[in-house]
Structure 1
Amino acid sequence: MITGLSTLAEAYDGVICDVWGVLHNGISPYPAAAEALSRFRAQGKVVVLLTNAPRPAKAIEELLERQYAIGPSSYDEIVTSGSVARKVFENEPRRRVFHVGPRHNLGLFEGLDLELVDEEQAEYVVLTGLFDDETESVESYRPMFSRFVERGLKAYCANPDVVVERGDRLVYCAGALAQLYVELGGDTTIIGKPYHSVYDAALAAVGRALGRPTEKSRVLAIGDGLPTDIKGAWSQGIDVLMVTAGIHGADFGDLLSPDPARLAARLRAEGLSIRAAIPRLVW
């Protein structure tokens, strides 16, 4: 357990930082976290935000500024699962898409040579979330997905998160829908953390901001989600600073004073290791 990012800063040239759960909880920002990243950058270092948001990076930049007052002083570049997914769709020969997700994710498709169609016309499916995560459950989609799987339609999931914090609640995300699609036997490609393509993009962004390639050993990943942030960075050989009061906060006792033994046991059970942990990101 460490008291702040300053404890580790000297060892790293760049940070790859999660957004939801570290910089905000879906409703309220964590100003001290944004300040910590700004102070890291003030030392001539680089911050890349990496998020499983199924939208282009520009949309997340605008959202952070408008809703959470987090501006570009806290980061150099944003990489989203959506921005990586767009490159996949550009190389997808089929053009007719059925989108499963809320309307605010439609920017994912803007400017791409594809057509959003009804269920019956679809050649493949893109999952960005539930249509209405306030009223629906994942099981609501079983009949529709069964029809898609029977037709042999491939599904792309542009947000691997299964659940995410919204204030003091957890709500289902597209990753939960992808799990159902796989359970039904559907051909499914998942884009985002913990998979390597988004880390390749994030490391490339770190190199651009530094003006030179950098070794993974000089990059620190910061995140709160074990199956996404922690597993993803660990599997790529990147050191991890885990924010414990995020999505798994209730598992480790007191949010702001987690039990190190419970954290260590959970990491062993998951087969993961981290460089350090902190309740909330601060400098």
Structure 2
Amino acid sequence: MTRIIGALSDVSDAYDAMFVDLWGCVHDGVRPLPGAVEALQAYRRQGGKVILVTNAPRPRKSVAEQLDQIGVASDAWDDIATSGDSARVAMFTGAVGARVFHIGQPHDAPFFEAPKVVEDPVAVERVPLDQAEGIACTGPFDPTADPSVLRPQLLAAKTRRLPLLCANPDIVVDRGGVREWCAGAIAELYTQMGGTSLYFGKPHPPIYDLARRRLSRIADVSDGRILCVGDGIATDVAGAMGEDLDILFLSGGLGAEPTGTAPDGDPDPEKLAAFLEAEQSNPTFVIGTLR
């Protein structure tokens, strides 16, 4: 049965490590969220390990640089596992061919740097759609535009049976209070149109395998002593449940409205119960925000 808690410290003693989502949990894309960094710092001071597990379509190094720019203290986490890293491994081992059409923005260029863990990587080349063997989607060209604007390109790709590699399964994120579309929305549309989409971030297994490997470098922790933290019911919660890991659902993020969670407050128990029933979800714990 799901339990509403008042602070991370209410349950953190039962866990030796946490897999923590970033966007909507630790920061909003512009600044750290109040209380979140402090909660993670306190947990690490007690000996806990924190692996940031994010559907960001970029390499670990790029995400770490972003955290520094935003102002997320480096002593709040131990390592990072990104959807981008999981997807890059697949791409550079040939999952969507060597000639790739990129759907995304210029700042996602680091995605096309071959990861060191891949021996003899495929020589991936970005090409126009009509020359491509596959698609690498790191996000929309314009994150504020409805994904349906890409229907012409996706139809052409489906006709040629091109696989689409989705580097970020999130559907939307809130950047400083403004909702933006993510790569997951494009992959979802492509699948609905009859195309083939390949996923590597939450809720899919590859990113959890990567997170466990990153954790194993610094500590030997069994699954029963790992707590996941996230605000995405279809990504963070579904992924943790699929991996049989405990999950702390932050209802004040993407689910704030349907759960009746006020800013810096807790969810309305009745609305939360209705929301979880509708989503057929059963997180271990719930709190408004990470604190």
Q: Give the 5 Å matches for 1:135-146.
A: 136-146=145-155
The CA deviation at 1:31 is 4.1
* Counterpart residue identity of residue 215, structure 1: S
| 2:128 aligned with 1:121 | no
2:42 matches 1:33: no
2:226 is aligned, of 219, 232, 235, to 219
Q: Distance in 1 between matches of 2:285 and 2:195?
A: 38
1:68-147 matches, within 5 Å, as: 68-92=70-94, 94-111=97-114, 113-134=123-144, 136-147=145-156
* Identity percentage of aligned residues: 39
Q: Please state whether the residue corresponding to 2:80 is helix, strand or coil.
A: strand
User: Is 2:31–2:71's contact at 8 Å kept on the other side of the alignment?
Assistant: no
Q: Counterparts of 1:167-178 in structure 2 under 5 Å?
A: 167-178=176-187
Confirm whether residue 166 of structure 1 aligns to residue 171 of structure 2. no
Deviations 1:46-79 (A, max 9, x none): 000000000001000000011x211320111000
- The separation in 2 between residues aligned to 1:205 and 1:268, in whole angstroms, is 34
| Stretch moving more, 182-191 or 48-57 | 182-191
Aligned-residue offset at 1:168: 2.1
> Please, which runs of 5 or more residues in structure 2 have no aligned partner?
115-120
Aligned pairs (5 A) from 1:1-283: 1-66=4-69, 68-92=70-94, 94-111=97-114, 113-134=123-144, 136-210=145-219, 212=220, 214-255=221-262, 256-282=265-291
Residue type of the alignment partner of 1:129: G
Question: CA separation in 2, counterparts of 1:82 and 1:263?
Answer: 32
- The AA in structure 1 aligned to 2:93 is N
RMSD: 1.3
Q: Is the 8 A contact 2:260 2:272 kept in 1?
A: no
What's the CA shift for 1:29? Answer: 1.6
Looking at structure 2, the residues matched to 41 and 179 of structure 1 have their Cα atoms a distance apart, in angstroms, of 37
Structure 1 residue 167, shift from structure 2 partner: 2.1
Distance 2:255 2:209 in 1: 26
Q: Which runs of 5+ in 1 are unaligned?
A: none
The 3-state SS of whatever aligns with 1:98 is strand
User: What TM-score do you get using the length of structure 1 for normalisation?
Assistant: 0.95
* Structure 1 SS opposite 2:236: helix
Q: Check conservation: 2:251, 2:261, Cα contact below 8 A.
A: no
Deviation per residue, 1:1-38 (Å, 9 max, x gap): 21111111110000000000001112232141011111
The amino acid that maps onto 1:173 is C
Q: Provide the C-alpha distance between the structure 2 equivalents of 1:237 and 1:253, rounded to a whole number of angstroms.
A: 27
CA gap 1:229/1:254 in 2 versus in 1, 3 angstroms: closer
